[in-house]
Amino acid sequence: MAAVAAVIFVVMALFGLAWPFLYTYRLKWKRIALDKEIQYFQNRVAIATSDAIPGRATEQVLGPVAGTSRIPASNDDERQLAEREAMHSLIKQALQMGAHAVVDLKMTTDSYQHTDPRKLLVFPAVTFTATKMTYTGTAVKLVLADSSVEGRRGV
């Protein structure tokens, strides 16, 4: 009986030591996956902080879009992931609306007190200051360069 308790204690101790490394590793790979998806989407949707895309005319304003992070960010790694989550959400929403671009992009942060309840009775609930990232902008359709050329050919 004492040997079983000792083995359980050692396993729990090793898991406790490995948990921060596993968490950081998971954040890193999630951030890399979001970066790849954002890069793919940005090839389809132009993004600008100004009110227009340089060299392109706006055909139609589709409306406001917003992307918000889902994780409570409390350190730099989590903030980077939260920023990418918010951008990913904004771009996906713009694509669903049929936008060619997002203009007037702004980022806001909101800090709040987050309580992380633990499932195990051994650990108490932890309260910390968390940050939520939000990107907002306006989804627009751009005049396609090919459509003006085809229109002139038909005339």
Picking from 53, 69, 79, the residue whose alpha carbon sits closest to that of residue 138 is 53
Calculate the average pLDDT of the chain: 80
Beta strands across the sheet bearing 58-68 = 46-47, 101-116, 126-142, 58-68
CA torsion 71-76-79-81 (nearest 10°) is -80
Amino acid at 31: R
Q: CATH for 2-154?
A: 3.30.110.70
Return the percentage of the chain with pLDDT > 90, whole number: 34
Q: What is the pLDDT of residues 61-108, one digit of tens each?
A: 999 999 999 888 888 888 888 999 999 999 999 999 999 999 999 999
pLDDT given for residue 14 in this prediction: 59
